[in-house]
Structure 1
Amino acid sequence: MGNVGPVQLTWRNGLDQAEVAEVVALLDAAAEADGVAPAGEHVLMRLRAHRDVAQQIEPVQADVRSEHFVVRNAADELLGYAHLDTADETDGLLVAELAVHPAQRRGGVGTRLVRALLERADLPVEGAGEDTGRLRIWSHGEHPGALRLAERFGFARPRELWRMGLRLAAAELPEAPAPDGVSIRAFRPGSDEAAVVAVNHRAFRWHPEQGAMSEADLREKEAEDWFDAAGFFLAVDPQDRLLGFHWTKVHPDGRGEVYVVGVDPDTQGSGLGKVLTAAGLRHLRAAGCAEVLLYVEGDNAPAIKVYQRLGFERTDLDVQFGR
């Protein structure tokens, strides 16, 4: 790729397979350059499960949760991409993630994408740092380019997501026996989905993404290559009623992740979250993971303290900018 030169931005309701491959390659290039993926897991899942452009006819548009903003140069090379999640648009909220090819940065591509997102959200291009709750744009890793764009367009900073890490091989994991009458077992695909979704909803009713997980979302993740039911721990009572769960994940690079820990609010204070977390960490260590990571809301002080007591330290920060 050369200099940016004249560029064209287009809005797309769907991408064909060739475009998806280009977008994924751009996201991979940005991740390699920055050390952090520019888009979340759900964006990649949506791209892989896309409907081709030819299928984007009016009768199915109500089911589409993604919009795509594509920037190309005169040679038709992909310079930048933004994914807009419209799943919560009925509540007035649009959430975006964007990336510019490392070879094309500081050439105005990011500016074009942010302007297009503001226009799509019916917001003035010039802002005064006020978060109306209409548009949120993620910056994974608090990228310097994102900080410059946020300042230029007057974005507020309503949300931070901490990434915390632990060197698991050397960690001293606590002994955490389950409370009386509680047993820990593995997730059973095909039978436990409804119970997990119900507890997840109760545990994360306040969370803008996790609390909305449906049974269809869960089954979609069960189809992912990384899914392992043996690393999905459920805490149940003597009647096999679900009280809480710890869903672990092993990344392709061998790092483990405390993917989700959810405890029914009725059982909070029983120490069940610590029990489940310790069980998952032991599993990840036995699976050969030398390091483990997790994500936690930056304003969730109680959860951060729990993880710090286990030895986790903040390693990075994702920021959601709002207008």
Structure 2
Amino acid sequence: MTTGLRIETTGHPGPERAAAVLRVVDAATEADGVRPLSEHVLLHLRYGGAAHARDVLGYAGEELVAYAHLDLADPAAGAVAELVVHPAHRRRGYGRALAERLLAESPGGRLRLWAHGNHPGATKLATALGFRTVRELWRMRRSLDTPLPEVPVPPGVRIRAFVPGQDDAAWVALNARAFASHPEQGRWTLEDLRTRMREPWFDPEGFFLAERESDGRLVGFHWTKVHHEDEPIGEIYVLGVDPDAQGGGLGKALALVGLRHLRSRGLGAAMLYVEATNAPAIRVYEAMGFTHWDTDVMFQSAQ
């Protein structure tokens, strides 16, 4: 049972309340060892979000102790949500109260709920509400202190760094082709790209583009990222190849270019996200020395 939780649903909560949410996120990250919200939700809090986003704020008295993000962009498939409760205020029914509010505000009661790091509390809550697992996203990692294989760049292709302002539109178009079937990545817009370019971690020198030597057309890319929240670690942030250029080893070559770049930055490890059902990609990454590290789970309501 909840004890005095006051819930408010709003659009973007504004700078002051967003800062309070981020303090809850930091406390949960410290306690759980995994960030409870995905990157796009954190960007929404910092920079503002789309009209289809809703923020659900939970207060104990005047203190913000819980938060949920509700994305209504695709009502046919069902709303998507993430939630977090401050570690000092758990086991009081606050998570369930937020989840029930999210269900009530989801069209037709169709709700998909992410649990980052497959936290036991999140699994218990999802099970109690009758949700089932519908998607798993693996995090894999490898040491950068061990040898990296040699993979040549395919003939007729050169690799260079991204140039802000010059390559923006061409990269968005290539990303859409490379991830046409992906439920999130393939929908990125110029605004999505430029929002990330505002982040302190953005480094164009770690954003590699593959282009055809004959006409300069982009055919692949590897965008790396460096995390500093806990241990410094590099990430294969986004790696994509034009469907017309797949099968010739370009993806592996781009992956190795990025990993060598991360190692040159003095980083000892690299990570990536991959769909648990993407067996071909997992085999490629395992051959490159990556192993399963952790799992994000998406649950879906019974409606």
TM-score, reference length from structure 1:
0.89
Structure 1 position 255 matched with structure 2 position 242: no
Matching residue's letter, 2:7: L
List per-residue Cα deviations over 1:106-148 (Å, max 9, x = no partner).
1100010110011111456xxxxxxxxx321100000111111
**1:114-193 correspondence to structure 2 within 5 Å:** 114-123=99-108, 134-169=110-145, 171-193=146-168
Query: 1:78 & 1:94 partners in 2: Cα distance?
Result: 24
Matched-pair contact (CA < 8 Å) for 2:12–2:45: no
Query: 1:120 & 1:65 partners in 2: Cα distance?
Result: 12
Aligned residue number for residue 90 of structure 2: 105
Query: 1:88 & 1:257 partners in 2: Cα distance?
Result: 28
**Structure 2 CA distance for partners of 1:157 and 1:308, relative to 1, 3 Å:** same
Query: 1:301 & 1:153 partners in 2: Cα distance?
Result: 30
Aligned residue number for residue 55 of structure 1: none
Query: 2:57 & 2:47 partners in 1: Cα distance?
Result: 18
Aligned residue number for residue 219 of structure 1: 194
Query: 1:276 & 1:7 partners in 2: Cα distance?
Result: 49
**1:292-303 correspondence to structure 2 within 5 Å:** 292-303=270-281
Q: Which runs of 4+ in 1 moved over 2 A?
A: 86-89
Query: 1:166 & 1:260 partners in 2: Cα distance?
Result: 17
Aligned residue number for residue 245 of structure 1: 221
Aligned residue number for residue 73 of structure 2: 87
Matched-pair contact (CA < 8 Å) for 2:78–2:107: no
Aligned residue number for residue 16 of structure 1: 14
Deviation of the 1:92 alpha carbon: 4.4
| Aligned-residue RMSD, C-alpha | 1.5
Aligned residue number for residue 312 of structure 1: 290
Name structure 2 gaps, 5 residues minimum. Answer: none
Aligned residues between the structures: 298
Query: 2:188 & 2:155 partners in 1: Cα distance?
Result: 30
Matching residue's letter, 1:186: A
Name structure 1 gaps, 5 residues minimum. Answer: 52-62, 125-133
Deviation of the 1:215 alpha carbon: 1.4
Structure 1 position 236 matched with structure 2 position 223: no
Query: 2:233 & 2:52 partners in 1: Cα distance?
Result: 30
Matched-pair contact (CA < 8 Å) for 2:136–2:297: yes
Query: 2:16 & 2:194 partners in 1: Cα distance?
Result: 26
The percentage of aligned residue pairs carrying the same residue is 51
Aligned residue number for residue 53 of structure 2: 66
**SS of structure 1 residue aligned to 2:130:** coil
Query: 1:275 & 1:17 partners in 2: Cα distance?
Result: 42
Deviation of the 1:6 alpha carbon: 1.6
Structure 1 position 283 matched with structure 2 position 268: no
Aligned residue number for residue 64 of structure 2: 78
